[in-house]
């Protein structure tokens, strides 16, 4: 919401996040060679999909590692030094998610409240005091990084669902692999396999 006493620059047009999300989902389905996670049990053997899904997760995590801070630094700049309305929509976030993104990059805690101020000058002073980085071409940086982060998070979420279903399938007949066997096959820690298996079982009411 607009803050009393703050002057805002022009809104930044938001990318088409709905289409970005749909494209990211299609990319995962194509990489997996399946139309959805549920196909794992009925249409293919589950060994290879578990590995493929984890590779997609790793790639998404690498992109997040490269672009998440860049997105959030641009957001913080635009919040403190060049206030704009509608930044949550521009970044493809909910209002809570947008405020959490700024709080994470500024305070290291996404749940930390943002400062209450009454003027642009006060905003800038607080930002400087907090060590908020000034970002050159922040608007362009945001528009570059935010869609990449959104797509990576979408691909990650879809791939995790595939992995959960693959782990579940490998835990059941005819495989009946142990978590240790699955973890060794995929190349991850055993604790992650337990977590993914439990999530899949819960989703299926088991």
State the greatest distance between any 2 C-alpha atoms of the chain, in Å, as a whole number: 67
Q: Are 1 and 129 in contact (CB under 8 A)?
A: no
Burial class (CB in 10 A: 0-12, 13-18, 19+), 82: middle
Instruction: Return the pLDDT at 41.
Output: 57
Q: Are 63 and 148 in contact (CB under 8 A)?
A: yes
d(CA 98, CA 78): 12
d(CA 97, CA 88): 8
Please give the chain's pLDDT, 206 residues, in tens.
Answer: 456 679 999 999 999 999 999 999 999 999 998 777 766 655 557 788 999 999 999 999 999 999 999 999 999 999 999 999 999 999 999 999 999 999 999 999 999 999 999 899 999 999 999 999 999 999 999 999 999 999 999 999 999 999 999 999 999 988 999 999 999 999 999 999 999 999 999 988 87
Our CA angle for 105, 106, 111, nearest 5°, is 80
Instruction: Return the pLDDT at 46.
Output: 74
């Amino acid at each position: 919401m607009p803050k009393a006493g703050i002057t805002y620059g022009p809104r930044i047009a938001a990318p088409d996040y709905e289409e970005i999300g749909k494209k990211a989902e299609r990319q995962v389905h194509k990489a997996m060679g399946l139309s959805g996670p549920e196909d794992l049990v009925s249409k293919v053997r589950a060994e290879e999909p578990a590995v493929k899904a984890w590779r997609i997760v790793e790639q998404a995590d690498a992109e997040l590692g490269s672009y998440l801070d860049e997105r959030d630094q641009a957001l913080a700049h635009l919040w403190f030094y060049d206030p704009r309305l509608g930044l949550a929509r521009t970044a493809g976030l909910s209002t809570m998610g947008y405020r959490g993104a700024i709080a994470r990059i500024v305070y290291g805690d996404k749940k930390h409240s943002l400062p209450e101020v009454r003027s642009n000058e006060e905003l800038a002073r607080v930002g400087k005091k907090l060590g908020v980085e000034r970002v050159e071409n922040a608007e362009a940086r945001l528009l570059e990084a935010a869609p990449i982060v959104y797509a990576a998070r979408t691909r990650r979420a879809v791939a995790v669902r595939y992995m959960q279903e693959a782990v579940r399938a490998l835990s059941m007949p005819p495989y009946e692999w142990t978590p240790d066997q699955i973890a060794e096959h995929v190349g991850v820690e055993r604790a992650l396999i337990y977590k993914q298996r439990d999530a899949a079982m819960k989703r299926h009411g088991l």
